[in-house]
Structure 1
Amino acid sequence: MSKAKIISTPKAPAAIGPYVQGKVINGFLFASGQIPLVPETGAMVAGGIKEQARQALNNVKALVEEAGSDLSKVVKTTCFLKDIADFAAFNEVYAEFFKENAPARSCVGGIDLPKNALCEIEVIAEV
């Protein structure tokens, strides 16, 4: 098994528990779930699902780029929504980030998320 490289960037929120922002192993980034925290302040971004989705995806983008990759190389996302009724609005923002060749995706709704976030997004990306 190859040695894992830990990914850490101030352009994404610091871990709020016993985990790392991401790890690269065997040519893939495994990024921890990103909630809509503003990296500079650690505070939840103001607004509803669209604003929160955009911030969470910007946090994901920062991790992917820190690993030396880009969003076009994301192969799988897992998205968590506090309220599945936000699915359509979430998708509008998600489509801004994944315009072509979208990754495989799972989306789970109706769950409580850290810091009462409306969404959380984790990714696996080719590096």
Structure 2
Amino acid sequence: MNPLYSTVGLLCLSNLFMTFAWYGHLKEMAHRPWIYAALLSWGIAFFEYLLQVPANRIGHTVMNVGQLKILQEVITLSIFVPFSVLYLKEPLKFDYLWAGLCLLGAVFFVFRGDLAAAKG
């Protein structure tokens, strides 16, 4: 399988786990002491790392670390916005659009060398 597709797929899954670890307790465990939420989050994060570490290792065969990080940030926003709106029932804001446009700029800057090489 193409390393880029494997990387994106694994990072999407890992980010879904991490989003639940970081924010799911706000809805599901609001009535519990924070230590319970922290322990549950650590447990979820363990499974996130089982996906994220291989994703970064596979991705590093075709991308540099900066590109991997920006890819992760794009995926983070792509997972977080629907999670926030659909699961946590937060309002959809234009600020997410502006953040996404800023990330597109970041994608351009970290991948522009590869774009120029592909053209040339």
TM-score by length of 2: 0.31
TM-score by length of 1: 0.30
- Higher CA-based Rg: 2
